[in-house]
Structures are given as structure tokens and as C-alpha cells.
Amino acid sequence: MKRYKFKVIIPLALSLFLTVVLLAVGFYKPQPGQNISPSPKLSQSVISDKIVASSPQSQTENLQLQKVARVIDGDTIELENGQKVRYIGINTPETVDPRKAAECFGKESSLKNRELVEGKSVRLEKDVSETDKYSRLLRYVYVDDALINDYLVRQGFAYASAFPPDVKYQDQFQNAQREAQQENRGLWSSCESGSSGITDQNATAENCQIKGNISSTGEKIYHVPGQRYYNQTVVDESKGERWFCSEDDAQQAGWRKSKI
């Protein structure tokens, strides 16, 4: 009778033990698709003793790495492979257009960009568009983890310039511009109304009639006299809107003509 009990109890005990072990292993096993890595945090970097916001580190690790051969101006660089790169989301005063005089704070912007990136390895991040109409790569540019596009705006060497569909960090750049304006940094203290993108610093409603407006979505649109919404369009220079003396000036600064 006792031998019979042992024959029944031992297998039952082993079966119970194995069941408990299997349940324990299944309990701690990550489920398919479960993300067990920590969430990325917004990183910050220091350039010239200034804090500049950047993208999450997890995003910048896999960006394309290139070396900068030379700086063309405040928002354009040339890589060692000969490709030119136009910074996304910002605009700096003109210095290299042979048809125009150098604009206010253009030289300072170019020198600062050269100090930040020339001869250095940079990470390049694409938004939506690959290139602009001049076949320049459109990219966000990083040195280490610092987003140079942001730095130039935040320190007053450039201004935020939305051009859809490449608007991934445009809210960040607009906030950076407001900070620069409030602190009177760079072009906001050195140039009339901080409007570094105006070819003629005296462009006003009196001598230039084209209205450069920025829509609620950040798109730059200019209106010429006679167009449907010309009279009701108001130019607010504090928001980066401006007057232009010619359509060519408006287009060179990144504006497009209103379709109606």
C-alpha cells in the first residue's frame, strides 16, 4: 500500500514542480513586440559655453556622418565629397550673391558657422525633401549632439524660416528665435527690426510694395499689388514677415508667390 502511494505522489510532485518552473519562465519572458529599452530623452550640448537643444540621442546615433570641407555662408556648407548642404528651417543674411551687397550680420553669421563646423565631422539628418532647386542637400546638421540649425537661430546668427514640407523642428526653431529676440542677440540688436533676410534694409511700405506673409502653418507667401488678398494682408515684422522690392528678392529669400 505504501509503495503504491509513493508511485503516485512522486510523479505528481515532479509534475507540479515543472509546472511552477514553466510558469515562472513564461512570466518573466518579454512578450513579442514589447519595448524594454528606456525612452529617449532630449539631450543638450554646450557650444561656446551656450546650451543648445538637440534631437533625442537615439535619433542622432544613426545619422549620416560627413566631413565639412568648407563653409559657403551662414546656412550652407560643402562636404568633402563635393556635395553642398543647405541647412533646413533657417535663413541667414546673404553674403555670396554677386548681384547683391552683403546684408546686415551676414559676415558674422558666416564666421560663426565656420567656427562651428568647418573641418569637422558632422551628422546630417534628412526631413522630407532630399534636395532644393539648386541640387543642394537639405539637412539638419549636428556637431556631436548639438543641432547647429537651432544654435544659429538661438544665438541670433539666423532666423527661423519654415518651408513646408520640411518642418520637423520648426516649433523648436520658432522658440529659439523668440529667445534670441527677447535677449537682443546677434542680428536682433545689430540690424533694423532684426530682418536680416531683407535685401534692402530700408524696405518699407513706402518704397517696396510686395508683402511677404507667413501663414499659420509657417509657409512663406508673398502678395503683389492686384492680387486677391493683397489689400487685407498685413506685414508683421516682429513675426519675421517683411516687404520686398521685387519678386526676385522674395523668391531668393525663400518666399513663394500667392496662387490667387
| CA–CA distance, 160 with 149 (Å, rounded to integer) | 9
What is the maximum span of the chain, computed from C-alpha positions, in angstroms?
Answer: 115
Q: Which entry of 86, 123, 185, 242 is annotated as an active-site residue?
A: 86
| CA–CA distance, 74 with 159 (Å, rounded to integer) | 11
Whether omega before 165 lies within 30 degrees of 0, making that bond cis, reads yes
Q: In what order do the strands lie in the sheet with 242-244?
A: 242-244, 210-214, 220-223, 256-257
Sequence-ordered strand ranges (E) for 74-190: 76-79, 84-87, 90-91, 121-125, 137-143, 146-147, 159-160
Q: Which entry of 78, 114, 118, 136 is annotated as an active-site residue?
A: 136
Say if residue 219 is exposed, middle or buried (CB neighbours under 10 Å; 0-12, 13-18, 19+): middle
Can 136 be counted among the known catalytic residues? yes
Using an 8 Å Cβ cutoff, are 221 and 198 in contact? no
Q: Which entry of 94, 108, 125, 241 is annotated as an active-site residue?
A: 94
Cell of 196: 536680416
Look at phi and psi of residue 170 and say left if phi exceeds 0, alpha if psi is from -120 to 50, else beta. Answer: alpha
Q: What angle do CA 256, 259, 260 make, to 5 degrees?
A: 135
> Which residues does the annotation mark as catalytic?
86, 94, 136
